[in-house]
Structure 1
Amino acid sequence: MLSEEFVSAICGGPLSSNTAIAKDVGIYSHTLSPTYSVKSTFKKSSSPVNGLAVSETHVFAAQHEKAYVHVYSRLRGNQEAFVAFPERIRCLALAGDVLILGTTEGRLMLWETCTGRLISSPARHVQAVSCVAATPYHILTGSDDSDIHVWSLPQLLELDSPAEHEPQRSLSNHRAAITGLSMSPSVSSDTNFCVSASKDKSCIIWNYQTGDALRTLLFPSFPLCLSLDPSSRAVCVSCEDGSLYVTEIFAEKPLLGPGAEEATTVVQISSPFGATQPDVGPASCLSWSYDGTMLLTGHPKGQIMRWDVADNKSPVELANLNAVVTNVTFLSPFPMDRPTKAVNIIKPSQAERAYTLAVQFDAYSGSQTRFDSLLNSTGFPNEVMENAIAAFAQPTAESTSDKDLKKQNEELWEIINEQRALQKQTLQRYVEAKSSH
């Protein structure tokens, strides 16, 4: 049975003097199923909303109102590095081995954790970058200035690029600060989309490669956070009034696709999926389970609530961390199929011009192939040499396709020879008729 795990982070000190909760713990690694338990903890961290990123080997946590990122090793269970940056970090996200950071000055930074290379863009946002979302090809940055910039990840990582880094386009339909971004995993320019949330009480579904606003969802109060489910068929939004909305994008009346109503671009969302109690407070962060049947929400009173999406039952309190829960992130139950693993990170540096890749190659788990046996042998094995000599000594047997091709070729030559004979006979009769006159 696959186990489900998630990571949560808090911000600020304890809300009450609860001795049952360990002091100085800022990040928790939980096991949700088969039975709930706290698997491990990391100390001395105070991460803001959208300030946590988790890889297969590390946990990266931005620090509230500081220019620091704490790096924790999941393999060793301790804090590996304390990384300082030129500006205060507001949010971050991971794209492979590249950590993407948004700063309070409106700047975008990219840190290659395996080489230590640090790339910094000009301050294209006039206010702080509030959220970041990434795919292997694109980066989206939302800001308090209400704009969303779309960046090309390969262009930002290009070596020795002479041009100044610029976003590919800007999405500027919102009229207030951006509070959340979520992207679909598709890479096609026709089917990929993202959803943005803003304090103007709306969420917009975009085709971010073309810049088109596909649908606008209006809510009774402004959204605090949002997330697309793993299959990108529904979006969950948490609002300031404590309501939780689950909107299906491809339902009986889809918001996108061939069956969508083209004339209606604005949709009013008024029926919440559920609501939290006043003593719990609205969800400041949320995450879908890997199969999309469960939601976890983090709350300012310290609770982590579990919502059953399929049965739509009342939420269940999963844990109380006695501090403001700012981040909840589900981990994939399946190992990543990658040839390398970053066991140790390399601290960032803008001064370096030569970089060393520090990764560990994983053992190949596939079945032994003929190429593998040749690669691991000294010289040419006797069996290979004998097969090669036998192949040269024996005539190549004609396959069925070769026989058919040869037969078709012979039939074609027969037709050509008949045409030549007919042409020669016709020409001879013409010459005889002309000489008789």
Structure 2
Amino acid sequence: MLSEGFVSAIYGAPLSSNTAIAKDVGIYCHVLRPTHNIKSTFKKSSVPVNCLAVSETHVFAAQHEKAYVHVYSRTRGNQEAFVAFPERIRCLALAGDVLVMGTAEGRLLLWETCTGRLVSTPPRHVQAVSCVVATPYHVLTGSDDSNIHVWSLPQLLELDPAAEHEPERSLSNHRAAITALAASPSVSLDTNFCVSTSKDKSCIIWNYQTGDVLRTLIFPSFPLCFSLDPCSRAICVGCEDGSLYLAEIFAEKPLLGPQSEDASTVVQITSAFGATQPDVGPASCMSFNYDGTVLITGHPKGQILKWDVADNKTPVELTNVNAAVTNVVMVSPLPAGKTTKTFTVTKPSQAERTYTFTAQFNSYSPSQTRFDTLLNSPGFPQDALQSAIAEFQQPAPAAASEEELRKQNEELWEIIKEQKELQKQTLQRYVEAKAARP
């Protein structure tokens, strides 16, 4: 069985004087399956919503109303770096080895963790950047100014210092601050989309490469957070009233695709998937597991709940961390498939210097080939000898072909002999006929 895990972060002081929980712990690394337990912790962090990012080797946590990020090493289990930036960080996300951060002044900061290069954009948002998400080729930013900008990631990382950093397009159908943002993993022009929620009680599904609105959903209360199914099949939204709503994208009445209604049709979502108790509070963060069967939610009273999406049973409380849970990030149990990993981050610098890439190669263990077996065996391997003996015992394909040619030659000679005999008989009749003439 695959071992699943997730990372949670808290914000604020402890809610009670519970001595069983360490007061200075700010980030928890959990094992979800096969049995839930807290594997490790990191101290001295107060992480607001949308300010936690997890890679294969590191945890990045922006601090509340601060201009710095704490970097923790997952492999060594300690705080590796304290990184200061020129502006307060409001949200962050990872695009490979690049940490993308949104600032309180409406800018984007991109830190290449393997080189230390830092890229800053002009303040293209009027207000603070509230959420950011990265795809293989794009960066999407949502802001308190109700707009969403779509940026080209290769253009943002352009090495030319004179390159202008402008968003490719803006998505501006919301009428209030953006609370959450997510994008499908597809890179196709026809199937990739992003989802955004806002304090105007709406959730919009966009084709972010064209700027088209694909569907608009309206909820009874404004959404605080949401999670997109790993296969982009459903959206689970947590609202301010404590209700959780599950909208299936490709259900009997699909929200997208040729069988769906016109994109201008607004869908009212009224049937709740579940609801939390008043002593738990509304979900402030949530995340699906890697196969979309389990939903993990974090709450302001410290509870972390597990919801069974398929059976829709009463949620199970995994733990209570005695502080407001602001971030839940699932860790994929599947290998990343990268050839390198960032063993130690390089602190950012805006000064011009030699561009040096620092990373560690992953261990290379290809499948054993027949040549490797022959090379590493003393003498001839037993299977190679048996195969060679079996080939000697069988008639060679070349001998079989020679026998066939011999038979064909004999048949041709028989035909030639028949033709010669027929020619001889014809010539004899001609001579006899000529001699009988007067």
- Name the CA shift for 1:263/1:117 in 2 (closer, same or farther; >3 Å): closer
**1:141 alignment partner in structure 2:** 141
The equivalent residue for 2:366 is 366
CA contact (8 A) 1:290 1:332 kept: yes
Q: What is the CA distance between 1:103 and its match in structure 2?
A: 0.3
Deviations 1:259-309 (A, max 9, x none): 101265210000010000111100000000111011010000000011110
Deviation at 1:162, TM superposition (A): 2.5
In 2, the alpha carbon distance for the partners of 1:25 and 1:297 equals 19
- Tell me by how many angstroms 1:226 deviates: 1.0
Q: What does residue range 346-425 of structure 1 map to in structure 2 within 5 Å?
A: 346-368=346-368
Equivalent residues in 2 for 1:260-299 (5 A)?
Answer: 260-262=260-262, 264-299=264-299
CA distance 1:179–1:165, change in 2 (3 Å): same
SS of 2:255's equivalent in the other structure is coil
Residue identity opposite 1:201 in structure 2 = K
Equivalent residue for 1:58? 58
Paired position in structure 1 for 2:336 = 336
CA offset at residue 352 of structure 1?
2.8
Q: Secondary structure in 2 aligned to 1:155?
A: helix
1:7 is aligned to 7
CA displacement 1:99-133 (0-9 Å, x = unmatched): 00000000001000000000000000010000001
User: Residues 249-260 of structure 1: matches in 2 within 5 Å?
Assistant: 249-260=249-260
What does 1:21-420 correspond to in 2, within 5 Å? 21-262=21-262, 264-368=264-368
Q: Does structure 1 conserve the Cα–Cα contact (< 8 Å) formed by 2:132 and 2:141?
A: yes
Deviation at 1:372, TM superposition (A): 8.7
- The secondary structure found in structure 2 opposite 1:10 is strand
> Which letter maps to 2:262?
E
CA 1:371–1:67: 2 relative to 1, 3 Å: farther
Deviation, structure 1 residue 232:
0.3
Distance 1:206 1:2 in 2: 33
**In the alignment, what sits opposite 2:386?**
none
The one-letter code matched in structure 1 to 2:21 is I
Give the residue type in structure 1 aligned to 2:104. T
Measured against aligned partners, the alpha-carbon deviations of 1:165-203 in whole angstroms (never above 9, x if no partner) come to: 000000000000000001000001111001000000000
Pairwise CA distance, 1:335: 1.6
Q: Check whether the contact 1:69–1:82 (CA below 8 A) recurs between aligned residues.
A: yes
Aligned-residue sequence identity (percent) comes to 80
Which string of whole-angstrom CA distances, capped at 9 and with x for unpartnered residues, describes residues 325-356 of structure 1? 00001110112111101100000000033221
Give the gaps of 5 or more residues in structure 2.
377-438
Q: Which residue of 1 aligns with 2:423?
A: none
In 2, Cα distance between equivalents of 1:291 and 1:272: 22
Distance of 1:212 and 1:234 partners within structure 2: 19
DSSP-derived class of the 2:146 partner = coil
Q: 1:9 and 1:163 mapped to 2: Cα distance?
A: 36
Partners in 2 of 1:180 and 1:101 — Cα distance?
Answer: 15
Q: Which has the larger radius of gyration?
A: 2
Q: 2-side partners of 1:272 and 1:86: how far apart?
A: 43
Residues 214, 265 of structure 1: 8 Å contact kept: no
- Choose 263-272 or 62-71, whichever is displaced more: 263-272
Relative to the length of structure 2, the TM-score reads 0.84
- Aligned partner of residue 13 in structure 1, secondary structure: coil
| Counterpart residue type for residue 103 of structure 2 | T
Provide the residue aligned with 2:434 in structure 1: none
Whole-Å Cα distance in 1 between the matches of residues 39 and 265 of structure 2?
45
For the residue of structure 1 that corresponds to 2:327, the secondary structure is: strand
Alpha-carbon distance between aligned partners in 1 of 2:137 and 2:35, rounded to the nearest angstrom: 37
Contact 1:101 / 1:109 at 8 angstroms: preserved in 2?
A: yes
Q: Structure 1's 14 and 168: CA in aligned 2 closer, same or farther, altered over 3 A?
A: same
Q: Which amino acid aligns with 1:275?
A: A
How far apart in 1 are the matches of 2:149 and 2:15? 37
Q: Distance in 1 between matches of 2:207 and 2:6?
A: 30
Distance, in Å, in 1 between the alignment partners of 2:263 and 2:87 is 45
Structure 1 Cα separation of the partners of residues 340 and 45 of structure 2: 28
- State the alpha-carbon separation in 2 of the partners of residues 369 and 44 from structure 1: 50
Q: Which amino acid aligns with 1:65?
A: E
Question: Secondary structure, in 3 states, of the residue corresponding to 1:72?
Answer: strand
Which residue identity is paired with 1:164? Answer: E
| Distance change in 2, residues 1:278/1:345 (3 Å) | same
TM-score (normalised: structure 1): 0.84
Gap runs ≥5 in structure 1: 377-437
Secondary structure class of the residue paired with 2:154: helix
Query: Does the CA contact (< 8 Å) of 1:342 and 1:359 recur in 2?
Result: yes
Please tell me the residue identity of whatever aligns with 1:187: V
